[in-house]
Structure 1
Amino acid sequence: MKSIIKISIAAAFISLSVISCAKHETGEASTMEMSKAEMATTDSASVAASQQVEGKKFIKTANIDMEVKNVYDASVAIEKSLVKLGGFVTKSQMKAQTVSERTFNTSDTEATLVRKYQNENTMQVRVPTEFLGDFLNEINQNKLFLNARIINADDVTANIALAKLDAQRQQKNEENINQLKANKDKVELADDNYREANDQKVANINIADQLKYSTVDIYLKEPNVSVAQIPIANTQNYDNQFKSNFGFELKNALVEGFYMIQQIVVFLVSIWPILLIIAGLIYLNKKKFFLNRFSKEQKS
């Protein structure tokens, strides 16, 4: 009897040990699965980029600001991913922001322009909304550092419902207008209603386009400063070739002096009547002076 009890106790102890080990292994497996799920969530795009809610319509936009190793290579990779997903580029403005530049003369005729710059690119793309999350993940592969990522999902369900109600109202207005007598007021009412209907159709087309394609603004920048060495002409020595030449300038001065004398003579000849009048006045003045002087001597 005692041996049976001992055997039962031992069996119970072994069973408890096995259950405990099984629970421990199950807990570790669950922890590993949760870690993998968290990593997948961290590496993937925000749920706002791929969420779908029954009965809801979202216009999705995104704004990405990140630093990449090479702006040109990253831009090409993004464009290839975009084309693969059925999207297109609406704007791409790549430019080099000059940090500093300096010219070093290397010979009498040659020099080198050393320019430090940073490349950057501002892009705006349209991607099918169903692939927005995939596209953002593709962009993420090119980053060195993500400065900012903003994803917006605007609920436009009510706007769409309101557009349908407006279309029904405009249809009803058209029916009511058709029942009016033909006059100037009827024409104006019909024209206003037709214009409003056209505006609503254009708004519906825009909303449909924004629902189908998401707009993504992307700003890429290189964190490091690049250096370019550009061969140029040595302008300093080149300009020195055309500086002052004493013999040439002396010759020009003599020629210009001769021309100046000619101009003075021509000017004096052109005003000979004035000179003649002045000479006559001087002559008369002197003659009067001498007559007065002679008369005073006679009196004395």
Structure 2
Amino acid sequence: MKHLSKLCLALLLFGLVFACKQADYNAEATAATESAAITADSTVSAKNNPTKNLEKKELERKFIRTADLKFKVKNVAKSTYAIERIVEKHGGFITFSDLKSNISEHKLTQVSQDSTLETTRFTVDNTITLRVPNTQLDTVLTAITKEVNFLDSRLIKADDVALQLLSNKLAQKRMTNSQKRLEKGIDTKGKKLNEISTAEDKVLEKATESDDTLLKNLSLEDQVNFSTVTLYLYQKETIKNELIANEKSINAYRPHIGLQIWDSLKTGWFMLEGIIAFVVQLWAILLIAFLGYLAYQKRNSKQK
């Protein structure tokens, strides 16, 4: 009897343990089922709403990288040509280059009767703006440092514009949808001419805003793809001395005195010829004056 009671108690304990394990197993199975359902719902939701995936992809880092450098070189012209070759080699291009000489002093010193020493003090500099692929920016900057004799400054910036690009795309999408709804409303409900005209103006306004947003995004994407680098190159002041020949004075080309006297005589004779010719042109007046004089003399003789 005693052994029977112990056996019953053992069976009861075993049943309780089995029931607890079964309950735990059912709970785990339920949790796994719910988790799978949630995962499936999330997958279906992601498939049904690709905008979230697009937004997540658009939020990847997108940097507009720029660089500004100022440095001294041995020869600005040679360094400019070297930099242009480096940029072309790495798929970039030059957008601005201003190579010039700045004269600080210009002096002439006569060293002999027919020679003059020309002294010029000047500096040469160049401002270059270039665009290179974003992935080649570091390589190009490293290659340019070979031309640097003394580095004054070096500034590199990276601005993340991923959010701005995404904002512009979403705004463009909203404006496009609004434009389509307006066009549909015009086709289906537009009756009066003034109503259609007002709706058309709104459609044009939406289209213009959409185009402006698209252009802004294209500009940002161009700046992301191609980095902008501004370089200022200069070299130490240079002195150039050049010996130049003096130009002959105008006095060296003056004729001698005999030729000047002969020219004066010819000039006087030409003047006399001109006077005689002028007097001859007045022969009619002189003739009338002479005849008047004769008539006057004849009249006076009769009176006497």
Q: Do these two structures clear the TM 0.5 threshold for a shared fold by scoring above it?
A: yes
| 1:273-292 pair list within 5 angstroms | none
Matching residue within 197, 202, 210 for 2:210:
197
Aligned equivalents of 1:256 and 1:191: distance in 2? 86
Tell me the TM-score normalised to structure 2 length: 0.59
Distance 1:120 1:271, change over 3 A: farther
Q: 1:236 aligns with which of 225, 243, 247?
A: 247
Q: Following the alignment from structure 2 to structure 1, what is the Cα–Cα distance between the partners of residues 66 and 286? A: 90
Residue ranges of structure 1 left out of the alignment (5+ in a row): 1-53, 288-300
1:167 aligns with 2:172: yes
Q: Distance in 1 between matches of 2:278 and 2:80?
A: 74
Pick one of 209, 226, 242 that aligns with 2:222.
209
* CA distance 1:250–1:133, change in 2 (3 Å): farther
Aligned residue type for 2:77: Y
Take 1:141 and 1:174, find their aligned partners in 2: how far apart are those partners? 55
Letter paired with 1:152? K
Deviations 1:242-280 (A, max 9, x none): 356544444444444444555566667778999999x89
2:154 corresponds to 1:141: no
Q: Could you tell me which residue of structure 2 aligns to residue 36 of structure 1?
A: none
**Highest CA radius of gyration, 1 or 2?**
2
Secondary structure of the corresponding residue to residue 237 of structure 1: coil
| Per-residue deviation, 1:139 | 2.3
Q: Does 1:83 align with 2:94?
A: no
Alignment of 1:222 with 2:227, yes or no, is no
In 1, the alpha carbon distance for the partners of 2:216 and 2:281 equals 82
Write the mapping of 1:116-127 to structure 2, written as runs, cut at 5 A.
116-127=121-132
CA distance in 1, matches of 2:63, 2:267: 83
- 8 Å CA contact 2:119–2:239 kept in 1: the answer is no
Structure 1 residue 122 displacement after superposition: 1.9
The aligned counterpart of 1:40 is none
3-state SS, counterpart of residue 73 of structure 1: helix
CA distance in 1, matches of 2:247, 2:257: 20
For residue 124 of structure 1, report the CA deviation from its aligned partner: 1.2
Shift of 1:212: 0.9
Q: 102-111 or 181-190: which moved more?
A: 102-111
SS at match of 2:253: coil
2: distance between equivalents of 1:191 and 1:257? 89
Structure 1: distance between partners of 2:238 and 2:130: 27
Aligned-partner SS, 2:149: strand
Distance of 1:101 and 1:68 partners within structure 2:
24
What is the DSSP-based 3-state SS (H/G/I as helix, E as strand, rest coil) of the residue aligned with 2:247?
helix
The 3-state SS of whatever aligns with 2:248 is helix
**CA separation of 1:248/1:102 partners in 2, compared to 1, >3 Å: closer, same or farther?**
farther
- 1:153, 1:85 → 2: CA distance? 20
Aligned length in residues? 236
Asked if the contact 1:109/1:238 (under 8 Å) is kept, the reply is: no
Return the TM-score normalized by structure 1.
0.60
- The answer on whether the counterparts of 2:64 and 2:160 sit within 8 Å (CA) in structure 1 is yes
Q: What is the rounded CA distance, in whole Å, between the counterparts of 2:255 and 2:163 in structure 1?
A: 81
Equivalent position amino acid for 1:118 in 2: T
**For residues 177 and 66 of structure 1, do their structure 2 counterparts lie closer, same or farther at Cα, with a shift above 3 Å needed?**
same
Structure 1 residue 213, shift from structure 2 partner: 0.9
Distance 1:102 1:178, change over 3 A: same
Higher mean alpha-carbon deviation, 122-131 vs 245-254, is at: 245-254
1:23-102 mapped onto 2 (5 Å cutoff): 55-102=60-107
Contact 2:67 2:229 in 1 (8 A): yes
